[in-house]
Amino acid sequence: MEKNISKLYDEYKDGRIDRRTFLKKLTLLTGSAAAALAVLPALGETKGIIPAQDDGLVAEFVKYTAPKTEMKAFMAHPAKDGKFPAVVVIHENRGLQPHIQDVARRFAKEGFLAVAPDGLTPVGGTPEDDSALAAQRIGQLNGEDTINNFVAAVKYLKTHPRSTGKVGCTGFCWGGAMTNNVAVNAPDLDAAVPYYGRQPATADVAKIKAPIMAHYAGNDPGINAGIEAFEAELKKQNKEYQIFIYEGAGHAFNNDSNPDRYHPEAAKLAWGRTVSFFKSKLL
């Protein structure tokens, strides 16, 4: 298998196949998306991925207090003195996977203090290499408590000694919906960037104080059905917002560990907009 992986990587580096095809074939060779992601550093392939061991970053697992539990989270920030604007990163419906930890490191590379909570902490945490069990545990969560657990992450970062006190929140899929809920329930949140997440109830939009930048895939009818009502209420309530729809992309287009979903052009554009938005609102 090692020879096949090496040959595949050579094809990618020589430009004979694109990154999406490379990741898809690598997933087939290794047996899973998680296994494919795990072998990338050994290949020297870090494009779009920050190595787990990076001299420019401090990355570690931490705990913070929520109303009914102590939450586990992954934290990353620049390895230098000073305080940084902070971002809560909320995972998809498979828990705190390596991809989301990598997203936290990417924010750290951009100069942020990033915290990615494990939303499954109250039900046993994110299992390793078992997405089916993670999805099962998602279904066991109490909705109100889960929102409060992420709102508590905002509070944690507001007073963290490495934080400037400015805090944003972003999330993907399930985490995108949670980001909307955090915006509704955390009046001191400074910015929110939901990716392809279900919109909050229309009646709750008035509670949002943070400016919103929402990213949606063009091919995502289930999620996109709620955009029109959401935008109408944002306008009615005179909220600051931006909505971007990426034609040609499908749900979860930012997840570069999932070759069936990843859309590199949409992901790159959305990421650039997200970082610029956070820098404009949190710095």
Q: Write out the chain in H/E/C secondary structure.
A: CHHHHHHHHHHHHCCCCCHHHHHHHHHHHHCCHHHHHHHHHHHCCCCCCCCCCCCCEEEEEEEEECCCCEEEEEEEEECCCCCEEEEEEECCCCCCCHHHHHHHHHHHHCCCEEEEECCCHHHCCCCCCCHHHHHHHHCCCCHHHHHHHHHHHHHHHHCCCCEEEEEEEEEECHHHHHHHHHHHHCCCCCEEEEECCCCCCHHHHHHCCCCEEEEEEEECHHHHCCHHHHHHHHHHCCCCEEEEEEEEEECCCCCCCCCCCCCHHHHHHHHHHHHHHHHHHHC
- pTM across the whole model: 0.86
pLDDT bracket for residue 44 (50, 70, 90): low
Give yes or no: residues 114 and 222 share one domain. yes
Q: Quick check: 191 pLDDT over 90?
A: yes
pLDDT at 8: 83
Q: Quick check: 46 pLDDT over 50?
A: no
pLDDT bracket for residue 32 (50, 70, 90): confident
Residues 108-130 have a mean pLDDT of 94
pLDDT bracket for residue 45 (50, 70, 90): low
In sequence order, the β-bridge partners of residue 74 are 61, 116
Residues 36-56 have a mean pLDDT of 66
Q: Percent of the chain beyond pLDDT 90?
A: 76
pLDDT bracket for residue 47 (50, 70, 90): very low
Give yes or no: residues 40 and 117 share one domain. no
Give yes or no: residues 78 and 33 share one domain. no
For 169-185, how does the pLDDT look when each residue is reduced to its tens digit (9 = 90+)? 999 999 999 999 999 99
pLDDT bracket for residue 37 (50, 70, 90): low
Q: Quick check: 26 pLDDT over 90?
A: no
- Indicate which CATH number applies to the domain containing 102: 3.40.50.1820
Give yes or no: residues 70 and 40 share one domain. no
Alpha-carbon span 274 to 279, nearest angstrom: 9
Give yes or no: residues 35 and 106 share one domain. no
CA dihedral 161, 282, 107, 247 (to 10 degrees): 160
Residue with the larger pLDDT of the pair 147 and 33: 147
Domain hosting residue 25, numbered range: 1-47
Give yes or no: residues 115 and 19 share one domain. no
Six token digits for residue 205: 């939009």
Q: Quick check: 154 pLDDT over 60?
A: yes
pLDDT bracket for residue 217 (50, 70, 90): very high
Give yes or no: residues 20 and 131 share one domain. no
Mean pLDDT of the chain: 92
Q: Quick check: 145 pLDDT over 80?
A: yes
Tally the domains of the chain. 2
Give yes or no: residues 235 and 261 share one domain. yes
Give yes or no: residues 16 and 89 share one domain. no
Alpha-carbon span 66 to 106, nearest angstrom: 25
Give yes or no: residues 83 and 131 share one domain. yes
One-letter amino acid at 128 equals: E
Give yes or no: residues 41 and 131 share one domain. no
Residues 203-213 have a mean pLDDT of 98
pLDDT at 13: 65
Alpha-carbon span 97 to 134, nearest angstrom: 10
Give yes or no: residues 169 and 262 share one domain. yes
End-to-end CA distance of the chain: 47
For 70-118, how does the pLDDT look when each residue is reduced to its tens digit (9 = 90+)? 999 999 999 999 999 999 999 999 999 999 999 999 999 999 999 999 9
CA 93, 251, 42, 87 torsion: positive or negative?
Answer: negative
pLDDT at 42: 60
| Minimum mean pLDDT range among 13-22, 74-83, 245-254 | 13-22
